[in-house]
A and B are shown apart, each in its own frame.
Chain A
Amino acid sequence: MKACLAAVLALTALVPTLKAAEPFRPKDPGFVVAELPGRAVRSRDSFARQLLLSRSDPQKATQLAAALLEQARVSAQPQLYGRAESVLAPWVARPTVPAALLTLEADVLQQRHEFGAAIGLLDRAIAQDPRAAHARLMRANVHIVTGEFDRARPDCTWLLGSGEQWAGSVCLAQVVGSTGQLERARVLLERLTADESAGPSVDVRAWTLAVRADLDMRAGALAEAQIALTRAVALAPTSDYVRLALADVLIARGYLTDAVNVLGAARPSVSALLRRAIALARAHDSQMQGSLAELRERLAVSAQRGERTHLREEARLALEFANDRRAALALARDNFAVQRETEDVRLLARAATDARDTAAIASLEAWIRRTHYEDVVVDRLLPGRESSSGATTWIRARRS
């Protein structure tokens, strides 16, 4: 009977649940309750005062919000986006506000996946100040993320014409790389990133390398993508975005331990936890349950908050860990309606083919035909695409 009970207990231990921590009173007065990130930048005590001052001066509001967003980026504190929005929101409703302020609010909105609203603010910012390079670059990028490549193109060209050669080049490479000229885009970025020290700032160089790696992955050149992203992580070690991208390449190449190590330094976000769980699951590592439990808890909190900003991760979670193909397809479809980056297109292709949903496959194929989008992974998944794809043709040409 004891053995039976032990077996039952062992089985329960395997079920991934993350118990809510019981509140407790530390005995040691020196117990470290929390570490506050970004201490040097934050001026915690005066935030209320600064917020008050920002209410009457749009310049002050812009400066405070920019400082908060910069701090959010440097110290990986996503909560600060909400604080920045509190600073900006009262101004956005007014008819005339500085273009820079509108651009910052657009940044906050696009971070929350409110792309339509972000574009609206960026249109306003550019109408006010047609020379606002940052607003142009952001508008182009939001259009690229939502798969509206032709709308992004004029802003990229404008950046090139206005002297923003580097940002304009990366911008345009993303557009042409998604509209039938993947190889041309790769060559463009290869040239741009050939000189290790060239580039306006390390962050911009890391971004460029990440975009290059993305195009490499779509062309099936995983080794090259890995090299580019390794460089990007070295340039911007605090950027979770490049780390996650590198982890994806490592997982795709089967370097699972390396992927887990790369993710170790990232903030335990939904994206990082998901990738960690995938890498551990493929390596048959039981620690996967812990990552999965924490991931599900984070998703549950997000759902309780009334958000739908993790559709991409939910779709990938459903595809990797749940056996519900219809649910995975519904999530991938909803996600594709919001964003259309490499991973989003791949998720929909995989979910649609897994579920053998001919309508979903047909509509994705129609989008690919219309945009001339290229990705070897998508082509392999979709029936009848492999032979017609430019990317595949290119790979074959390279092999021969």
Chain B
Amino acid sequence: MIRRAPAGRRPRGLRRLLGVLLVICAFSIAGTRQAESHESSTSYLKLDAREDGALQGSLDVSVLDLSWSVPLDADGDGRVLWREVEAVKPEIAGLVADKLMFERGTRKCTFHVADVLVTRHVGEPYLSLPFVGRCEAGGLLKINSNLFFSEDAGHRTLFDVHTDAGFTAGFLAEGTREWKQSNEPNWWLAFATFVVQGIWHVWTGYDHLAFLLSLLLPCALTAGSGTWRPANSLRIVLRDLLRIVTAFTVAHSITLGLATMQVVSMSARTIEPLIAVTIVISALLNLFPRAARWRLPLAFSFGLIHGFGFALALSELAPVRGRIVALLAGFNIGVEIAQLCVVLLVAPVLVQLRQSSLYATRLMPATSMAVAFAGMVWLGARLG
């Protein structure tokens, strides 16, 4: 039996406490079995600080956490109703303004909570507090939070910060209540990241690969008197490859640059189906040797369309606001590297295959048909 300590040896309050402790012991320390408990309180901070000084973001706080600091359950019935939240909006906004601090350059940023909304994180009820504000233009960003850390040692604020230097994620905790943007934004790293993104985009964007393949397929052949024939020399093959790939590359670089600099723009709804159309046309064209003279102008004009596609992909990547030219160049270089790899992989195969009569008459048309079919499927999906 677990017995209480004999009366008289310890103060009464302590005796009662020991009773509680033994119950806690029996269960919570039965190993770490109640050890789910590390699922502690978490708040989520999103921040977007632009170079011109504009600041916006949101702080999502757990209703439960907030209920310790702000009287959310006015009638004490154990339920937090929306009207009860609305009644204490000023207190909530005041708490955030009091505990959260942003600084840029040499000055504190000003901001105010613009609204209170309801949301959920991992199934738990949260209040989302969007805010807007103003910082000094330029300079390094600093975040400081005292929200809940003093009362709850397990609290963490997970943050996502977008600045012109890029995107950072991390957390603030009791011991590290401050985050500072690192001294020198690492442009080389950003550049390298965009090179990788460019490569990744081509290799994972099967439509660009399909288009490139449809352009490359006839490179080892020459069109004469209505039929495809093996190219006479390696030099002819390489010259054709070079011309086609260069035309495509120059064209898509032009539109990628113009679209990213926002000189021209085209919506995804237009571009995505158009890219599918280019795949279908260029693949079907391979079935008609007489149309071979159109390959170069088409590679160029279709390249213009694909450039918009690359620009769309680039715009989905986080920080293209600052040093845009460097990042654009990085992305484009990545795209070219990926394309070059494809050419280097495909060209030797084509050179080998061209001697086989089956290639010109069967394999090349069949592959082109398959690519055209894939293009049609994508077109349907993108129009659907």
Contact = CB atoms under 8 A, between A and B. Distances in A.
Interface of A: 1-2, 4-5, 8, 20-26, 28-37, 39, 44-45, 47-48, 51, 59, 62-63, 66, 69-70, 72-73, 77-79, 81-83, 85-86, 89, 98, 100, 103-104, 107, 110-113, 131, 133-134, 137-138, 141-142, 144-145, 163-167, 200-201, 203-204, 206-207, 210-211, 236, 239-241, 245, 267-272, 294, 297-298, 301-302, 304-307, 309-310, 339, 341
29 contacts: A23-B58, A23-B128, A24-B118, A24-B119, A31-B82, A34-B63, A34-B67, A35-B79, A36-B67, A36-B79, A63-B13, A70-B24, A79-B154, A82-B155, A100-B21, A107-B24, A133-B18, A134-B18, A134-B21, A137-B25, A163-B3, A165-B1, A167-B2, A203-B26, A206-B27, A269-B36, A301-B158, A302-B39, A306-B173
Contacts of B379: 1
B32 A103 contact: no
Contacts of B84: 33
Given A32-B79, A34-B64, A203 B29 contact: no
Given A1-B380, A59-B13, A141-B30, 7 more contacts: A23-B58, A32-B79, A83-B152, A133-B5, A137-B25, A142-B29, A298-B122
A218 B32 CA distance: 18
Given A22-B119, A24-B118, A66-B21, A111 B28 contact: yes
Contact of B76 (A39, A210, A339): A39
B384 interface: yes
A145 B33 CA distance: 9
B317 interface: no
A291 B34 CA distance: 20
A309 B38 CA distance: 7
A73 B36 CA distance: 11
Contacts of B340: none
A137 B28 CA distance: 11
Q: Is the interface of B mostly helix, strand, loop or mixed?
A: mixed
B267 interface: no
A297 B14 CA distance: 42
B323 interface: no
A23 B25 CA distance: 41
Contacts of A100: 14, 17-18, 21
Contact of B25 (A34, A44, A138, A310): A138
A2 B1 CA distance: 72
Nearest to A60: B13
Contacts of B67: 34, 36, 44
A113 B38 contact: yes
Interface residues of B, number: 85
A57 B33 CA distance: 31
Contacts of A200: 1-2, 22
A268 B171 contact: no
Given A79-B65, A207-B30, A134 B37 contact: no
Nearest to A269: B36
B36 A23 contact: no
B226 interface: no
B33 to A, nearest CB: 4
Contacts of B78: 35-37, 39
Given A23-B128, A204-B2, A207-B30, A32 B39 contact: no
Contacts of A310: 38
B70 to A, nearest CB: 9
B25 A36 contact: no
Contacts of A144: 31
Given A23-B117, A309-B38, A304 B171 contact: yes
Contacts of B69: 48
Interface string B63-75: 1110111011100
Interface string B144-169: 00000011111110100000000001
B383 interface: yes
A305 B171 contact: yes
Given A29-B83, A83-B151, A201-B26, A5 B41 contact: no
A20 B82 CA distance: 20
B153 A63 contact: no
Contacts of A29: 81-83, 86
A30 B83 contact: yes
Contact of B27 (A21, A81, A203, A302): A203
Contacts of A47: 68, 151
Find the residue from A48, A83, A137 having the highest chain B CB count within 10 A: A83
A86 B58 CA distance: 26
Nearest to B66: A34
A20 B76 CA distance: 30
A141 B379 CA distance: 64
B20 A86 contact: no
A353 B319 CA distance: 46
Interface string B186-230: 000000000000000000000000000000000000000000000
Nearest to B129: A23
B377 interface: yes
A20 B81 contact: no
B40 A79 contact: yes
A36 B128 contact: no
B85 interface: yes
A141 B32 CA distance: 9
A29 B39 CA distance: 31
B36 A339 contact: no
Contacts of B64: 34, 36-37, 77, 79
Contact of B169 (A79, A131, A304): A304
A78 B28 contact: no
B121 interface: yes
Interface string B48-68: 000000000010101111011
Nearest to A313: B36
B93 interface: no
A66 B118 contact: no
